[in-house]
Structure 1
Amino acid sequence: MSNGYFGAHRTKLSLDDLHAGLITANHILHHHSVFDAYSHISVRNPDSTDTFFLADTTPPSVISSLSDIIEFKFEDGSPLDTTLSLSGVSERWIDSELYKRFPGVNCVAHSHCVDVLPFCTAKVPLKPVIPSAGFLGSEAPAWDIASAYSSGIFPGSGSSGEKHDRLVRSQNLGAAFAIKFSKTSTSTGFIYSKLSESVSSVTGGHKDKEEQADPDYAVILMREHGFTVAARGIEEAVYMAIYTAINARVQREALQMSESYFGGTIEGSIPEKGGSIKGGKTKVTEEVQTLNAKEARDAWETGRENGWLDRGWLEWKRAVEKNPLYENQVQSDE
């Protein structure tokens, strides 16, 4: 686990617990059907200012040893060991750019969970419907990678040679995605950010705007793709990923139940000469109740103060330790 590695007072020197926790996190998220074979979770290296650990070439359920964990650089997402072949690591720039942009982010999880995917395609906002998902705020914003394809800000954007496969497969796309975690992620703010970076790189100066340590959003949906969590530690990332999936499942079932029980009305206008309803759409008579922004914030604070993260971690960790599918060869003190 990551307790004792990050924060004002570090209490652990050996990285064994951190590596063991990263392996366990992969197993937990796979066990809860949040991770498929192509999802991943990473953690910042507390012994370095510019690297992170990621086990992405091996499926989450199979990760078991230090040899499965690779150390990458923030700068460009490249491995510290230049001899490694990384054909299987296609979206590590999600992580590198988030770590680079937000010093307070120590763990990143990226998932294609089937419970959340409907909210990535139907454009129904994912909102907190249970206190355990208070970290979502008023709702989880959604990012469409197509906006980065067509922006023209990056070299090759919109070119015929660029692959539009919805994957964050480059540093530029990772940077565009990381910006979405800030409330200033408007097109104007995005352009200003890129121009500021360019000027700083040429002059050797600092950015005009003050560095933002923590993201404004913990979870961002990715259109036709999945979702990503930016957290302060492994336990927090695992908790958020699991309850993002649970909240999505509860919300979806509540929407279906509400429509089935209360029914709906058809909105739109009928042409004078008859025919189909113009602009017709179904509106559910009764809306599903969700937490407002204050309730979500207070619920998240209550959960952190009352040890929800550690309590969940202990139960989930125990479950995968007793499951013969998962093996963790890294010795932990806990």
Structure 2
Amino acid sequence: MLSNAPAGTGEVPLQQRSPERDAMVAEIVLASRILAREGIVDSFGHVSARHPDRRDHYLMPRTRAAELVTPEDVLVFDREDVLVSATQARIFAERSIHGAIYRARPDVQAICHHHAPAMMPFCTSDAALVPVFHLGATMGATVPLWDSQDEFGDTNLIVSTQAQGDSLARALGANWTVLMRGHGATVAGRSLREMTFRAIYGARNAEVQLKAAQLGAVRRLTAAEAVSAAEFNLTPFAMDRAWEQWTRHVDTPRPF
């Protein structure tokens, strides 16, 4: 396991805390608790963020329900998904999802994998998930569906290898949300707050679309509307307002 930065790099040693790392860990905990309260994750699902001091590493909690995550639970993994932190804790096999997307997308700073109930009908049918209202557009104008069956045949549907993670990352492409056939969804963002916003309103978009379909033909946003609405709603003007409200309803992690 790596415990120190390479000589001469100027990077912060991996076992050394920094104000930036502590702040990122606290925000991972908050995002995990918010997503649990909003019904996006339950006993299953997980949140991660790129390491602020070492861009080729990421931070992710040990195996634990998101609502219960504490700062002490957040561990360090390298770009190959190898555990760097000194711990005997159980770790998520599906860290392969996170590592693959960080390797493929330098712009991605945070990821959530979840099984929100509203998303599941779109993971188990041929119906496409499309933006139908302005806040829902933050999930992305296009939401692809990844089917593990295409490359890997019959599996337990858990993304537990780098090959599977890389395949999922290719399906995500330049988008922000990807559905996983028979499993759930993975959401990326340029920050933890943005990822949280995309995950929550992506699930709410799915709820609205399902209800609209019961009334008749679904009227989706145009591609230009979806892009414009997402750009507006992912500004601090909107995201900070939502984050302030969401954090009022969860316990703020104590300093560690």
For Structure 1 versus Structure 2, the TM-score category normalised by the shorter chain is 0.7 to 0.9
Alignment of 1:98-113 (within 5 A): 98-113=101-116
Alignment of 1:101-250 (within 5 A): 101-150=104-153, 164-182=155-173, 216-250=174-208
Q: 1:47 to 1:291 in 2, by over 3 A?
A: same
Q: 1:43 to 1:137 in 2, by over 3 A?
A: closer
Comparing both chains, which one has the higher relative contact order based on Cα–Cα distances under 8 Å and sequence gaps of 6 or more?
1
Residue aligned with 2:44, SS = coil
**Runs (5+) with no aligned partner, structure 2:** 1-17
**Runs (5+) with no aligned partner, structure 1:** 1-11, 151-162, 183-215, 259-286, 322-326
Q: CA RMSD in A?
A: 1.8
Bigger Cα displacement from structure 2, 164-173 vs 66-75 = 66-75
1:249 partner amino acid: E
* Whole-angstrom distance in 2 between the partners of 1:83 and 1:289: 51
Q: CA deviation at 1:140?
A: 1.0
2:82 partner amino acid: S
Q: 1:246 to 1:97 in 2, by over 3 A?
A: same
The structure that has the greater radius of gyration is: 1
Determine which of 50, 58, 62 is the counterpart of 1:52. 58
Determine which of 78, 85, 109 is the counterpart of 1:73. 78
Confirm whether residue 253 of structure 1 aligns to residue 211 of structure 2: yes
2:139 and 2:199 in contact (8 A); partners too: no
Aligned residues: 239
Confirm whether residue 299 of structure 1 aligns to residue 229 of structure 2: yes
2:137 and 2:202 in contact (8 A); partners too: no
1:45 and 1:52 in contact (8 A); partners too: yes
1:52 partner amino acid: Y
Residue aligned with 2:66, SS = coil
Q: 1:90 to 1:117 in 2, by over 3 A?
A: same
Q: CA deviation at 1:320?
A: 1.1
Residue aligned with 2:255, SS = coil
Q: 1:34 to 1:83 in 2, by over 3 A?
A: closer
Q: What residue is the counterpart of 1:308 in the other structure?
A: 238
1:40 and 1:56 in contact (8 A); partners too: no
Confirm whether residue 27 of structure 1 aligns to residue 33 of structure 2: yes
Q: CA deviation at 1:56?
A: 3.8
Residue aligned with 1:38, SS = coil
* Whole-angstrom distance in 2 between the partners of 1:137 and 1:95: 19
Residue aligned with 1:239, SS = helix
TM-score normalised according to structure 1 size = 0.68
* Whole-angstrom distance in 2 between the partners of 1:63 and 1:306: 26
Q: CA deviation at 1:305?
A: 3.8
Q: CA deviation at 1:176?
A: 0.9
* Whole-angstrom distance in 2 between the partners of 1:85 and 1:55: 10
* Whole-angstrom distance in 1 between the partners of 2:41 and 2:52: 25
